Amino acid sequence: MLIPVSSRPSTRTIDYVGRFAPSPTGPLHFGSLVAAVGSFADALHCGGTWLVRIDDVDQTRSIPGMAQTILEQLECFGFRWIQAPVQQSARKDLYLEIIEKLLAEDHAFGCRCTRQDVLAAGIRGAAGPVYPGTCRHNQLPPDSYRTIRIKTGSTPIRFNDRIAGELVQNLFHDVGDFVVKRADGYAAYQIAVVIDDHLDHITDVVRGADLLASTPRQIHLQHLLGYATPRYAHLPLVVDSAGRKLSKHDHDRPVEKDQALHCLVAAWQFLGQKIPQHKFVDVEEFWSFAARHWSIKKAPATGHYFESTETQNPLF
């Protein structure tokens, strides 16, 4: 499990490259806007640069045309990025090449186990079912395995999260050997995002807390591949009144472009940030204020159901 070790670490502002990486499974909703606001504001405040990447490695879930819809939403909300967004699907062959390299170096192995097989083993960790190591030493021929898994070890993975503080996880006991090439032939998200952040020279990842538990797996892959580890900050999640995380895939409450300024202020408030007494004239004034006043130390560590103080009604 991820275990808190100490209080939040200090910040730095040198050589900052951040990113926002939405999946094209639906239009942006308030939860994804919160993640984008936190990421962009942090980059602005640190005097860094900011990129947008389209995380469409899972092409079975991607909706045609949705990437462009998301980019248009971001532009309307005043987000600015320094280069053309990269799509993960353009790098799919590179992901598979690197997976094969890990396999050849004995950092990975072929596995024929299904999800049902893993569940049937009955080993549970803090993050869910733990792979029992069934195929780890079998050296299966390529035509007989379904997935490729990365070998994990018992050495704890430690990292400082700028919001959650210092965390530690034993991957072997809590997760087990995890999938990097899926049964459908696609690279898994865990390795795709690690390769992307390396290629894009990302120094700072500010994203939703739903990915906090994935971070030790990504750091493990960074170590195996000889990549630098970026700083991480995991923002609180927006949940609905039933406590469920909002989802683009389920078309949960997309934000409207004609309400851009209102939604930006609401996201800023959700993140615990200072609200000026005067109303903003436009999104440009909002971002100018955000660049000066953003404080990641004020961001709450847990998500909640959000009500706008302006309307006293649920925003989504």
pLDDT tens string 23-57: 999 999 999 999 999 999 999 999 999 999 999 99
In this prediction, what percent of the chain has a pLDDT beyond 70? 86
What average pLDDT score do residues 277-306 get?
88
Could you report the per-residue pLDDT of 79-118, keeping only the tens digit for each?
Answer: 999 999 999 999 999 999 999 999 999 999 999 999 999 9
Start-to-end Cα distance in the chain: 32
115's CB contacts (< 8 A; 6+ apart) are: none
Confidence check: pLDDT of 272 > 60: yes
Average pLDDT over residues 175-194: 96
Share of the chain above pLDDT 90, in %: 76
* Residue spans per domain, the chain: 14-91+200-298, 93-189
pTM above 0.75, yes or no: yes
pLDDT of 286 > 60? The answer is yes
Can 14-91+200-298 and 93-189 be said to share one CATH topology?
yes
Q: Which fold has domain 14-91+200-298?
A: Rossmann fold (3.40.50)
Q: What is the CATH number of domain 93-189?
A: 3.40.50.620
More confident residue, 67 or 305: 67
254 pLDDT tier (thresholds 50, 70, 90):
confident
CB 43 within 8 A of CB 50: yes
CB 7 within 8 Å of CB 257: no
